[in-house]
């Protein structure tokens, strides 16, 4: 009986060891999962883009949009579609597609549509330019700041900030004075030195939430882009304003200030919060 027990124990030990070996994860680098095949502009897809059937063209554009950036090689074919001329609906879809493909090579062609008589085309164009980027995109967005449509103007202003178009700051100030609220945030993303002072100077002259939309951007930009001196000046202007709105904004900044952020700027914020605590209405 004792011998049988010993044999059974040994057998069970072998089973457990085998199960552990099967369940153990292999050492070394993890095995990579399946890699998606690269996007290919097939003859069939090209044929769809050239089709006279609108449904076929739209299906091809949908496929390209799903391909995203990987489908950039097909951008010339989409540009060719625009140059051939097509329906308004497909033109808008083609602009959206070029944007989703992030095809910088198409920016110049897209920018042409910022001059289009149809506002839907202009809206699609400015949205696409933010994604395709490049000098031609920035030029198109700067032009769109003076568009008759508020949405086009607002998207253009936002886009210039997103694309870090520092040369566009003077244009954005003109846009801000023309009540394009989105220009304030864009300025806050781009300004340095005197340009930032100019934005702070608009406190009390423009709606508070519009101006602080830009000042908030300034305060939370990295020191590689803007100095602590510039940030302290902004806080000083808010402190001078001394209103309840200013206090509320400063408290919000105080709550969001990163732990690893500048101690000097943090001290300035803390002092400004205390100084504006009894702010006027």
In a domain, 179, yes or no: no
pLDDT of residue 4: 42
Query: Would you say residue 32 lies in a domain?
Result: no
Rounded to whole angstroms, the Cα distance separating 45 from 40 reads 9
Predicted confidence (pLDDT) per residue in 172-212, tens digit: 999 999 999 999 999 999 999 999 999 999 999 999 999 99
**pTM: predicted TM-score of the whole model, two decimal places:** 0.82
Q: Which residues contact 17 (CB under 8 A, 6 or more apart)?
A: none
With H, G, I as helix, E, B as strand and everything else as coil, classify residue 22. Answer: helix
pLDDT of residue 1: 43
Q: Return the structure tokens found at 220.
A: 């939370």
Question: Span 77-91, mean pLDDT?
Answer: 93
Q: How far apart are CA 216 and CA 110, in angstroms?
A: 32
Question: For the segment 209-228, what is each residue's pLDDT rounded down to a tens digit?
Answer: 999 999 999 999 999 999 99
Residue 5 binned pLDDT confidence (cut-offs 50, 70, 90): very low
**Helix (H) and strand (E) counts in the chain:** 16, 0
pLDDT (average), residues 256-278 = 95
Q: Is residue 249 part of a domain?
A: yes
Report yes or no on 267 lying in a domain. yes
Cβ contact 202:238 at 8 Å = no
Domain of residue 223 covers 197-281
- The answer as to whether 98 is a domain residue is no
Helix (H, G, I), strand (E, B) or coil at 217: helix
């Amino acid at each position: 009986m004792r011998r049988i027990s010993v044999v059974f124990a040994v057998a069970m030990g072998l089973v457990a060891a085998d199960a552990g070996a099967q369940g153990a994860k292999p050492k070394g680098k993890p095995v990579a999962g399946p890699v998606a095949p690269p996007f290919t502009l097939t003859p069939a897809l090209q044929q769809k883009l050239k089709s006279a059937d609108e449904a076929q063209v739209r299906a091809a554009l949908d496929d390209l949009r799903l391909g995203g950036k990987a489908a950039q090689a097909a951008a010339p074919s989409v540009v060719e579609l625009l140059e051939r001329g097509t329906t308004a609906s497909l033109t808008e879809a083609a602009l959206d597609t070029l944007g989703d493909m992030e095809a910088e090579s198409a920016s110049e062609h897209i920018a042409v549509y910022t001059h289009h008589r149809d506002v839907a085309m202009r809206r699609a164009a400015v949205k696409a330019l933010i994604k395709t980027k490049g000098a031609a995109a920035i030029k198109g967005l700067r032009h769109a700041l003076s568009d008759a449509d508020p949405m086009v103007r607002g998207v253009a202003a936002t886009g210039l900030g997103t694309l870090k178009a520092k040369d566009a700051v003077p244009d954005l100030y003109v846009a801000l004075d023309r009540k394009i609220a989105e220009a304030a945030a864009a300025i806050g993303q781009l300004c340095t030195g005197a340009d930032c002072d100019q934005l702070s100077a608009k406190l009390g002259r423009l709606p508070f939430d519009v101006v602080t939309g830009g000042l908030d951007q300034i305060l939370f930009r990295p020191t590689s882009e803007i100095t602590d001196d510039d940030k302290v000046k902004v806080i000083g202007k808010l402190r001078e304003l001394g209103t309840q709105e200013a206090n509320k904004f400063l408290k919000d900044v105080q709550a969001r200030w990163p732990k690893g952020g500048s101690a000097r700027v943090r001290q300035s914020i803390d002092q400004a919060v205390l100084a504006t605590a009894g702010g006027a209405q």
